[in-house]
Amino acid sequence: MDDAKRLAAALNLLVKERQFSNSKARAAARQDPAVNWPATAQLNEDFNPEVDGMESFAMNDGSICAWQPGQFRYAAQRSRL
């Protein structure tokens, strides 16, 4: 779960920026080698940015860096898959 905590901390710094967007979150996550992209695609297969806000990211250690819509931040969670 350390991978998700680390990515959540990095993304939460970006959330505070004025022009934060899903594409900026995704670009930042692409820099992290611990993101499991096939699992992230599966996790977000019915993702709708207008409803869901931001994507969540699946990590290689099985944890998830999950978007918390009501709190406007990311948090580490155990896998839902």
What pLDDT is attached to residue 18?
86
CA torsion sign for 54, 20, 34, 78 is negative
Reported as a single tens digit per residue, the pLDDT across 27-76 is: 999 999 999 999 999 999 998 877 888 999 999 999 999 999 889 999 99
pLDDT band, very low/low/confident/very high, at 80 (cuts 50, 70, 90): low
Contact criterion met (CB below 8 Å) for 74 and 58: no
What pLDDT is attached to residue 81?
52
d(CA 46, CA 73): 20
Of residues 25 and 80, which shows the higher confidence score? 25
| Model pTM above 0.85 | yes
